[in-house]
């Protein structure tokens, strides 16, 4: 991440909207942060969970077809060091190759398992990619996070920010791929079960607070 740019945006969000969160920072160990996705501001809000040193070792997964062009794509690439992922890869190309390499290199990832920004306030079902990563790196913690209020501040296809309080709810403990590998019949089934459990955890955070 571009630390000065992200910090400036974070301070603006705190001042203009108010961001409340249940813990100050996530642990600095490499991890995956998985959250619901409704707004262009989501990643800048999630960055407030990470210490400055952790942000420097964090990359954000984003859809290539959305962020490869246009001002929003340029701004995200410059400020967030996004990793562009093909949502519909052709041939034998592995869309998760670069995310795998980053995790193997000790980086953290921020990703949105829905695969797209949904309708404001409505969460779509999670895609299995997060389960594939979790089972490929079974000892990497995956933190479920629910973001609330951002969909009213700057929703999909909206360009005017409106001040509403932004809330972050973080799971009490992370999920680990190893727990699902131990109980599933094979890796594919483990990744499917992990994805379903993560979706349930994020939805529960949204309903409980």
CB 150 within 8 Å of CB 39:
yes
- pLDDT for 166 equals 74
Closest CA to 111 of 124, 129, 94, 125: 129
The mean pLDDT of 57-79, rounded to a whole number, is: 72
Instruction: Say yes or no to pLDDT of 138 above 70.
Output: yes
| Selected residue with higher pLDDT from 6 and 169 | 169
pLDDT at 73 over 80: no
pLDDT band at 160 (very low <50, low <70, confident <90, very high): very low
pLDDT recorded at residue 71:
63
Task: State the DSSP string of 74-86.
Answer: HHHHHHH-EEEE-
**Residue predicted with more confidence, 41 or 199:** 199
Q: Are 26 and 143 in contact (CB under 8 A)?
A: yes
Q: How far apart are CA 137 and CA 32, in angstroms?
A: 10
Average pLDDT over residues 61-77: 68
Q: How far is CA 89 from CA 26, 61, 84, 186, in A?
A: 32, 15, 12, 24
Count of Cβ atoms closer than 10 Å to residue 106 Cβ: 9
Domains and CATH numbers, the chain: 3-208 (3.40.1130.10)
Average pLDDT over residues 93-120: 88
Per-residue pLDDT tens digits for 169-206: 899 999 999 999 999 999 999 999 999 999 999 999 98
pLDDT at 13: 64
The band of 39, judged by pLDDT with boundaries at 50, 70 and 90, is confident
State residue 47's pLDDT score.
Answer: 86
Q: What is the pLDDT of residue 188?
A: 95
DSSP 8-state code for residue 14? H
């Amino acid at each position: 991440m571009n630390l000065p740019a992200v910090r400036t945006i974070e301070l603006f969000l705190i001042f203009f909207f108010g961001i409340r969160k249940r813990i100050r920072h996530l642990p600095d160990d490499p991890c995956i942060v998985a959250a619901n996705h409704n707004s262009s501001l989501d990643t800048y809000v999630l960055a407030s969970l990470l210490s400055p040193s952790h942000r420097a070792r964090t990359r954000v997964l984003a859809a290539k077809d959305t962020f490869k062009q246009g001002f929003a794509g340029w701004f995200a690439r410059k400020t967030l060091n996004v990793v562009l992922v093909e949502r519909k890869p052709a041939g034998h190309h592995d869309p998760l190759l670069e995310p795998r390499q980053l995790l193997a290199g000790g980086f953290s990832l921020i990703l949105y398992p829905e695969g797209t920004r949904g309708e404001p306030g409505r969460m779509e079902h999670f895609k299995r990619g997060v389960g594939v990563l979790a089972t490929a790196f079974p000892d990497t913690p995956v933190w479920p996070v629910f973001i609330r209020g951002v969909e009213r501040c700057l929703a999909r296809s909206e360009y005017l920010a409106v001040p509403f309080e932004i809330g972050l709810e973080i799971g009490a403990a992370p999920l680990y791929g190893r727990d699902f590998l131990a109980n599933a019949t094979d890796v594919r089934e483990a990744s499917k079960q992990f994805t379903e459990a993560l979706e349930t955890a994020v939805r529960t955070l949204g309903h409980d607070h």
